[in-house]
Each structure stands twice: as structure tokens, then as C-alpha cells.
Amino acid sequence: MIRSKLPNVGTTIFTRMSQLAAQTGALNLSQGFPDFDAPPALLEAVSRHVSAGHNQYAPMTGLPVLREQVAAKIARLYGVQVDAEQEITITPGATEAIFCAIQAVIQPGDEVIVFDPCYDSYAPAVALAGGRCVHLQLSDGDFRIDWQAFSDALTPRTRLVVLNSPHNPSGALITREDLDQLAALIAGRDLYLLSDEVYEHLVYDGVQHASVLAHEALYARAFVVSSFGKTYHVTGWKTGYVIAPPALSAELRKVHQYVNFCGVTPLQWALADFMAEHPAHVEELPGFYQAKRDLFCDLLHTSRFRFTRAAGTYFQLVDYSAIRPDLDDVQMALWLTREHGVASIPVSVFYQQPIPAQRLVRLCFAKREETLRQAAEKLCAI
């Protein structure tokens, strides 16, 4: 008998729904990834660097040229200077950065506050570090943080708070006022912050992303995580980064050097070239994805799904209570895939205690226009 360290963990919903979509031939709007390719210049840069012999280990902290590009982007977008040498670490995916940050600061018995619905990788990483997640719920409907409930949940054992904005799965955004509230509530406490900002460039309707990087008091105790996968349409490259003040970065690197040691070398070279040559890519992303969101939502207008347009990310939540209120969301996601040819993600899987009356599934709109039209046609016919 294996004494499992993760007895309650199975195969993730993303793997299961993508497999079901493949088996049934459904359009896959479940797992979050684009069905279009990255910019040709980025792809060409990979071949160039592979051919040029950039195929051995990268430095443990990431290629200096890529870290410099990340620092330049942050200075440009958020108006803050981070030290590329001491504060930026390139990681094999945001997932590895999240895992390492949690292992670096969580001791057995520590509590970690997470907000449900929350991304699936946080809780297992906390469990492996011997910590305990304290799950608070975002408000049902607009997915905002209840700061009173947060304040009530703080204990001397609280060691880490995990934020995620733009938020997966809801698309909701944390505001600068939220960050100020948080800073006031944790002032003087011995705890850290993990800010998952992998969708930092996917914020719509002219709103500015409120990054923890631009909040001095919070950044002083934060790990801020991002993912090149989302920003450059290359989720399969599993390349991300984490930014933290020097002392925190040093602790994180102690873990990172034994989890994976470094990220993939030619991909880092290619990203550095592309960022240098196409700095406007990140500024163009909101418009690019907002057009997809709006096309999809306009097409769904005549369906029986109800929704509020996502404020960020490439996910759109839809409420199906006018269609099959008798089904819970897992049943609904299976029914939609098998009977109507569109795969989605049920939202309840992101909760420790799902809200019984909630009837929401998540649809990924990082898709070609043709895919979005086909999906909307199927969804409107239900």
C-alpha cells in the first residue's frame, strides 16, 4: 500500500476534459490554450537558436538577456524598476514558480489563504509543504474578495496569501483599492504574498491591470508570477517567470535549482529576441483578445446561456440555469461535450465547497474566429 501524500488528488479536470473532447471530436473550449499559432517571428527565432547551438543548460536563474527584457517591460508598463539579476527568475512554466514559492516559505502547520474558486495547483503544493489551505469564497456572481472575511481568517499561523488577478476561472480583476485593503490588513504581520498574474496582459475595456509589482508595500513581501505561455500563445513551451525582492528570490532559487534547475535554453533566447524586436506585442494583446471575447459574446447573445463579459483572461463563464438546471456543472460539462460537441470546464472543481445552486461552466475563447463561430452555433442551438 502506498501512503499517498496527496490522497485526494486525481487527474486534473483540464486533462480529463481535453481527453473527452478528443475522444468525442468536440470543439475543445475546456483547457485554456489557443488553437492558433504564435507569431512567426517567435517560431523562427527558436529554430535559429537551436541551429546556432543554444542547446545546453541555461543559467539557473534564466538567461540574462531574457531577464533584462522582462525588467524593461515591467519598467515600461508598471513604472517600477526591478533588478534583473537579483529579482527575476525564469522558470519552466508559472506552475514551477508557484510550486517553488510555496515550498520556499511554507513550513509544516502554516496556513495559506486562498480564494475559491481557485486554480488547481495551489492546494497540492501547500499540502506537500505540510501547510494547510484556508479557503475563503469570492462573492457568488461578481467574484470579489470579502475583506472582512479575510481579516477574520487571519491567524498567527497565516504565512501566505495567494492572489490571482486576472482571475481564472471567472475573469474578475483585483483593483488597486483591493491591494490597499490587503496591505492595511496584513501590515505588521509575518506573512508573504503569492500573486499569480499569468493573465496580466489580458485585461479588457481599457482597464489597467493592478499589479502587485506596482504596490510598494505589497511587493516587499511578494512573489509575482507570470507566464510567457499566455502572453505569446505558446502554452506548450511551459516558460514563465517569478519576480520577488532579493531575499525572497534567493530562497525561491534554493528550491528551483533542485526542482528543475533551469528553463529551456532555446526558448529563452527566442523569447528575448522577440520581446526586443516586438515590444508592442503586449500592448496589442488586450485588443486582440477583447475582439475575440466580443465576437464570442455577440454570437452567444441569442443563446439561452446568461453571462457578463469577462473583464480579463481568455475565459468566459456562462450560466446554464435556463437550459439544464437539473444538472450539476460536472454533469453539464459532460452533457455539453457528448451531446452538443463543445467541451468546457465546470466551475465547481475550483471550490473546496462548491456552491450548490451555482450553474456555471467556463469556455475558453483563445480560439480562431472559425472555431468561435462553430462553437457559438452549437451553443445557440441548445
200, 246, 293, 341 from 229: Cα distances, Å:
12, 25, 19, 27
Strands 360-364 and 315-319: antiparallel
Is the Cβ–Cβ distance between 170 and 282 less than 8 Å?
A: no
The answer for residues whose C-beta is within 8 angstroms of residue 30's C-beta and 6 or more apart is: 13, 14, 17, 18, 21, 333, 337, 343, 344, 345, 362, 364
Nearer to ligand GLN, 14 or 351 (CB): 14
Q: Does 351 bind ligand GLN (CB under 6 A)?
A: no
Measured CA to CA, the distance from residue 349 to residue 169 in angstroms comes to 10
Question: Which one of 2-10, 227-235, 300-308, 335-343 is the stretch in contact with ligand PMP (CB under 6 A)?
Answer: 227-235
From 198, 222, 234, 242, residue interacting with ligand PMP (rule: CB under 6 A): 198
When asked if residue 235 is in the footprint of ligand PMP (CB under 6 A), the reply is yes
Binding of ligand PMP by 93 (CB under 6 A):
yes
Helix ranges restricted to H, the chain: 13-24, 40-51, 64-78, 93-105, 122-128, 147-153, 176-186, 216-219, 228-231, 246-259, 265-277, 281-300, 329-340, 369-380
Count of positions (residues) in the chain? 382
**Which one of ligand GLN, ligand PMP, none interacts with residue 61, CB within 5 to 8 A by kind?**
none
Residue 31 touches ligand GLN, criterion: CB under 6 A: yes
Helix (H, G, I), strand (E, B) or coil at 175: coil
Closest by CA position to 185, among listed 224, 233, 219, 151: 151
- For residue 196, the 8-state DSSP code is E
Q: Which does 231 bind (CB under 5 to 8 A by kind): ligand GLN, ligand PMP, none?
A: none
> What whole-number distance in Å separates Cα of residue 145 and Cα of residue 131?
22
| Burial bucket for residue 221 (CB in 10 Å: 0-12, 13-18, 19+) | buried
What minimum distance in Å lies between the beta carbon of 12 and ligand GLN? 6
Name 342's bridge partners. Answer: 27
Identify whether the C-beta of residue 205 lies closer than 8 Å to the C-beta of residue 172. Answer: no
31 binds, among ligand PMP, ligand GLN, none (CB under 5 to 8 A by kind): ligand GLN
- Nearest approach in angstroms of CB 122 to ligand GLN is 12
How many other C-beta atoms can be found within 10 angstroms of the C-beta atom of residue 75? 12
**CB under 5 to 8 A by kind: which of ligand PMP, ligand GLN, none does 341 bind?**
none
Q: Which is nearer to ligand GLN, 150 or 314 (CB)?
A: 314
Q: Which stretch binds ligand PMP (CB under 6 A): 88-96, 155-163, 207-215, 357-365?
A: 88-96
Total interface residues for ligand PMP by CB under 6 A: 14
Q: Is 32 in the site for ligand GLN (CB under 6 A)?
A: yes
Q: Which residue is nearest to ligand PMP (CB)?
A: 93
- Nine-digit cell at 260? 528543475
Q: From 71-79, 87-95, 105-113, 318-326, give the range in contact with ligand PMP by CB under 6 A.
A: 87-95
Stretch that binds ligand PMP, among 89-97, 138-146, 254-262, 351-359 (CB under 6 A): 89-97
Return phi, psi of residue 355, to 5°: -85, 115
Q: Is 240 in the site for ligand PMP (CB under 6 A)?
A: yes
Strand pairing category for 360-364 and 345-346: antiparallel
Nearer to ligand GLN, 14 or 335 (CB): 14
Instruction: Indicate which of ligand PMP, ligand GLN, none lies near residue 14 (CB less than 5 to 8 Å, by partner kind).
Output: ligand GLN
Between 168 and 211, CB nearer to ligand GLN = 168
d(C-alpha 253, C-alpha 268), whole Å = 18
Cell triple for residue 32? 485554456
Binding status of residue 119 toward ligand PMP by CB under 6 A? yes
Give the residue, chosen from 29, 94, 102, 125, that forms a contact with ligand PMP under the rule CB under 6 A.
94
Q: Which is nearer to ligand PMP, 198 or 310 (CB)?
A: 198
| Binding status of residue 234 toward ligand PMP by CB under 6 A | no
Binding-site ranges for ligand PMP (CB under 6 A): 32, 93-95, 119, 164, 168, 196, 198, 227, 229, 235, 238, 240
Binding-site ranges for ligand GLN (CB under 6 A): 12, 14, 31-32, 168
